[in-house]
Amino acid sequence: MFLYNEAQQRHGGRQIPLIVPANEQGAGFMAAGFARATGRVGVCLVTSGPGATNTVTPVRDCMADSIPIVVICGQVARASIGTDAFQEAPVTTIMGSVAKHVFLVTEPQRLEATMRTAFELARTGRPGPVVVDVPKDVQNWEGLFEGGGSLPIPGYRR
């Protein structure tokens, strides 16, 4: 986000505001409130482990009320998933029963397409919450911005 804002500032574009809530549950409900008030997809960014699990209640609330939000969660590095590492939580398992869809980004090259697909899923069909779990090593990956593309979702009609 900070790199995005820096690039936007150089070219006179609009920046993404960073609003820091008291906790992750508050972040989820703030994203839901934004979506309700504007009709656009709300977004919240939370840390791994307990930070991600603290968003279960707002995600379930958004699913029940058909509110489109995207929750971006941190996660331990891919090699540490499943090892009970510090700050690790099984986000895909926990959120799978309360969200419209959950992504675990295991291939850094698919991060951009995953984010585009998450927003598309959140706002199309019956709107709802989509969770994107991003491992730390994927967050640190550097690649080229492609500017397009989405992931095929078997069984989902666009």
- The Cα-based distances of 57 to 30, 32, 79, 84 in angstroms read 12, 11, 29, 23
The answer to whether residue 124 sits within a structural domain is yes
Q: Is residue 13 part of a domain?
A: no
Residues in the chain: 158
Flag whether 30 is in a domain: yes
Give dist(CA 19, CA 129) in Å, integer.
19
Residue 1 has pLDDT above 80, yes or no: no
DSSP-derived secondary structure for 15-64: PPPP---SSHHHHHHHHHHHHHHHSS-EEEEE-STHHHHTTHHHHHHHHH
The pTM score is 0.89
> Does any domain span residue 49?
yes
Q: What local confidence, expressed as pLDDT, does residue 78 receive?
A: 95
| Measured distance CA(128)–CA(39) in Å, rounded | 12
pLDDT, tens digit, 9 for 90 and up, residues 27-84? 999 999 999 999 999 999 999 999 999 999 999 999 999 999 999 999 999 999 999 9
Per-residue pLDDT at 149 exceeds 90: no
With respect to residue 52, please indicate whether it lies within any of the assigned structural domains. Answer: yes
Number of domains composing the chain: 1
CATH number of the domain that residue 90 is part of: 3.40.50.970
pLDDT in tens, 103-132: 999 999 999 999 999 999 999 999 999 999
Q: Which residue has the higher pLDDT, 106 or 10?
A: 106
What pLDDT was estimated at residue 145? 77
The residue with tokens 């900070």 is: 2
Owning domain of residue 72: 24-138
The predicted pLDDT at position 5 comes to 64
For residues 110 and 55, what is the distance between their CA atoms, to the nearest angstrom?
24
Q: How confident is the model at residue 24 (pLDDT cuts 50, 70, 90)?
A: very high
In a domain, 154, yes or no: no
101 within a domain of the structure (yes/no): yes
In a domain, 72, yes or no: yes
- Categorize the per-residue pLDDT at 158 as very low, low, confident or very high, splitting at 50, 70 and 90: low
Task: Return the exposure string of 94-115: e unless at least 16 CB atoms fall within 10 Å of the residue's CB, then b.
Answer: bbeebbbbbbbbeebeebbbbb
Per-residue pLDDT at 4: 62
